[in-house]
A and B are shown apart, each in its own frame.
Chain A
């Protein structure tokens, strides 16, 4: 019996949940006031719901089909899995996107797919969905397409005219890992696709001589995802791969997805609980690299096995290993140094720079800026405060450890 739309939605959203990204931010600002149509994007994304896994639901994240001719060990949709299969027609995906959007459930569509027939056939169908949304229905919401590996360059280029973001998953942190677990995928080809896309994005960004207007092409850039914990790669290896992706292909985001048990799992993979804390620490380290001026090497340098500490965050970990750099004087240190203080975020640092033009700042001023004075005071000096004895304390690290669990009386 044919499956109903609802049954297929269940299968094809279940199949999509292992993609971490749900971002709808960073694209051009646009709205429907002039066109009188449907949809807008206003810079920052909106999370319309949260699932009990704590993840934001911003987009309708589905697969077009979960039939797949590839057999990647980590993937629920690999050809050898006995998972239930289903397929949407392009019109059904368009309908679902528009009707969900009208009810304000979502910011737009994140469409991915298993590979049917061949890469180009699959990519063509996905491009058609994006094109129909934009041209037939005048939809101005957010569209993210996961490009299909090995799809022709002209299809990727066409996709870029309609999508806000394109992504292609690097899948695993090392080439050896990809070759082992995803035998039909080729790391060199994945990187070539990323490189071609970067070139196209750069070209479109150059104002043309004639119009000075920039062509709209993948305005929210490209992103990728890698699975953490399926292979043996260390955090240092992972972060180095990320740094290469950020600098080499100017990716907007690298997503880390803790390897999660899947139904009908392949025997090639560990049956483990997803390493969620490790994933969290990697995101924090990624942030330090992109927004706090840290080099990748610095972040993991103090860890001989190349693994981030799980019980404290990487910024605190770095500070404890580099105590000679502290205390930092909040009334005179430059921005780069302030950003290195555990407990000071980017926004707070900007507020400090602004506030100290008018007065000398003490701990009470930091408290007003909602800084946890308890956390930062070992690392800073301020008006009326010098932490001399704190920074040299042997038990400084213990002060940041979570309190021991209270023991029950026997």
Chain B
């Protein structure tokens, strides 16, 4: 018997967990399940509404490490994530030490996907840029636009809550949004559009970025491996980069050509006098 499971939105972990639990308890084999979610639904495989998996009672225990792995795995945008997670769960029933077999093919694939999710989360924490909105209330209000690869907004929002607790903020993305109002986090799964807001402080940040750069140490590849171009369009400082690279050699030349016989500033001469007396 073929089971069809269509999860809502991008497929939240809790929904997957509930479905997977029932299916395991029914003894449904991995190859007999077709997983999908609203976001990635393309053909009419699911046209006929499928009955939600029968709720089956019973106990099912898994190592805690599996839950944290599966939770991250399901954030990935790979449509195979649901079936891969289920296959791990299925095999865990018989192979209790599966999670320790780091060279197993399923485990390797999971780790690869999870690594990509973790990196995306990390880059989101790094490259979100808040812009201040006008407002009269007691709390300052900020908004950010970010374009993650994976479905990570729910996963990273608590980080921003812990850090930017005293301000109201919204992080909007093409994969939904998260908002904090000082009381609770609110999520929206609908794709958002990029807000058009100017924040004057960006100008000071750009000044800092341009001046902290050392033209004598140009290493463009290194920069790009950590800050790939796909992020640049949402970083206020990034459009300075081409010019900084172009001018680097010239600036170093200028430094080297500076005449060395300039008289030192007057306060240096005063200091020297004071020292010698």
Chain A residues engaging chain B, CB cutoff 8 angstroms = 5-6, 9-11, 13-14, 16-18, 31-33, 35-40, 42, 46-57, 60-62, 67, 69, 71, 79-82, 96, 99-100, 102-105, 258, 260-265, 267, 271, 273-274, 276, 351, 354-355, 357-359, 361, 365, 368-369
Contacts and interface: CB of A to CB of B under 8 A. Distances in A.
Given A9-B207, A39-B163, A351-B102, A103 B217 contact: no
Interface in B243-268: 244-245, 248, 252, 255-256, 258, 260, 262, 264-265, 267-268
Contacts of A82: 262, 264-265
B207 A264 contact: no
B212 A261 contact: no
B103 A365 contact: yes
A260 B126 CA distance: 28
B237 A32 contact: no
A36 B165 contact: yes
B165 A32 contact: yes
Contact of B223 (A46, A51, A361): A51
17 contacts: A32-B164, A33-B165, A50-B227, A51-B214, A53-B215, A53-B219, A54-B220, A54-B226, A55-B217, A60-B208, A62-B208, A79-B265, A103-B205, A264-B262, A355-B100, A355-B103, A369-B102
Interface string B104-143: 0100100000000000001001111111100000001010
B214 A18 contact: yes
A49 B235 contact: yes
Interface of B: 97, 100-103, 105, 108, 122, 125-132, 140, 142, 144, 159, 161-167, 182, 199, 201-205, 207-223, 226-227, 235, 237, 241, 244-245, 248, 252, 255-256, 258, 260, 262, 264-265, 267-268, 271
Given A46-B122, A49-B237, A351-B102, A14 B211 contact: yes
B109 to A, nearest CB: 10
A355 B102 contact: yes
Contact of B213 (A9, A52, A69, A104): A52
B127 A10 contact: no
Contact of B220 (A52, A61, A267): A52
**Minimum-distance CB pairs A-B, first 9:** A54-B222, A54-B219, A31-B162, A80-B264, A32-B165, A51-B213, A53-B217, A365-B103, A79-B268
Contacts, number: 198
Contact of B207 (A10, A57, A79): A10
Contact of A46 (B125, B208, B256, B258): B125
A273 to B, nearest CB: 7
A104 B161 contact: no
Contact of A52 (B162, B163, B218, B260): B218
A13 B211 contact: yes
Given A62-B208, A99-B204, A276-B219, 4 more contacts: A47-B126, A79-B268, A102-B130, A265-B255
A260 B216 contact: yes
Contacts of A50: 222-223, 226-227
A53 B218 contact: yes
Contacts of B268: 71, 79-80
Given A50-B227, A261-B216, A103 B142 contact: yes
Nearest to B109: A368
A167 to B, nearest CB: 17
B66 to A, nearest CB: 16
Contact of B245 (A52, A57, A100, A358): A52
Nearest to A262: B255
Nearest to B182: A36
A47 B159 CA distance: 15
A32 B159 CA distance: 10
B271 A273 contact: no
Given A13-B208, A265-B260, A368 B108 contact: yes
A250 B182 CA distance: 41
B210 to A, nearest CB: 8
Given A33-B162, A79-B267, A102 B167 contact: yes
